[in-house]
Copies of this chain bind each other. A is one copy, B any other.
Amino acid sequence: VSAPRIVDLRAGILEKNDLLAAGLRERFAAAGTSVVNLVSAPGTGKTELLEQLLTRMAATTSVAALVGDCATDNDARRLARAGAPVRQIVTEGMCHLEAELVAQHLDGWNLDGFDLDAIDVLFVENVGNLVCPASYDLGESLRVVLLSVTEGEDKPVKYPALFSSADIAVITKVDLADAVGFDRDAALAALHSVRPGIAVVETSARTGAGVAELADLLRAPASLTATA
């Protein structure tokens, strides 16, 4: 009996989020900041890849990161090693980031002297979750979904909402592909079945493979529309 109320409420929450996200998108555009929303299952390697991207891109691009987690500031502390500005969002159990949380943390960061206008690429690392972040627009320019070779090739078809909403797919931990018997063709087929033509980059944070290619793509996302 409560189902219709839940659906109404969810639609209301999403509508409010969409409005806030639209405002964020305008704010990012005015600041000249490209925003990358990183989404994946827990343990796919978002933080390790982000550390490499921040380190590599910082030489030529002004980068920063907001990192979300249910609990702990482990990720912000890890990422501080890359030297770029990083701020943690602790969701206190919430399973995804919402536009309001991003806006709040940006405001707090600005009060601490952070200047969005000076940032070319802002990464937002979402909570590790292949379901709930799909519905929450954060005002991002690009949504990048990660899939590790250790997770199973059929994850895109089992979690189609998130994978079909992404602009770029990153296959991570490719150095482990042989050890886990990763079926690359099956993974690519699964990705393209839910998101035909999606750009795919294969990376290993351990060997550094693919990180430069991904960094180039994130610096010049216009090239995506040309190839998509």
Contacts and interface: CB of A to CB of B under 8 A. Distances in A.
Interface of A: 2, 5-6, 9, 12-13, 16, 41-44, 69-72, 74, 93-95, 127-132, 148, 150-152, 154-155, 157-161, 173, 176, 179-180
A157 B42 CA distance: 12
Contact of A132 (B41, B74, B132): B132
A159 B95 CA distance: 10
B132 A95 contact: yes
Contacts of A130: 42, 128-129
B95 A41 contact: no
Q: Which of A16, A42, A69, A154 has the most CB of B within 10 A?
A: A42
Q: Which residue among A43, A93, A161 has the maximum number of chain B CB atoms within 10 Å of its CB? A: A43
* Chain copies in complex: 2
Nearest to A150: B150
Contact of A6 (B2, B13, B41, B43): B13
Contacts of A127: 131
Contact of A159 (B70, B148, B154, B158): B70
Contact of A43 (B69, B131, B150, B161): B150
Given A41-B128, A43-B148, A130-B129, A70 B161 contact: yes
A183 to B, nearest CB: 14
A160 to B, nearest CB: 5
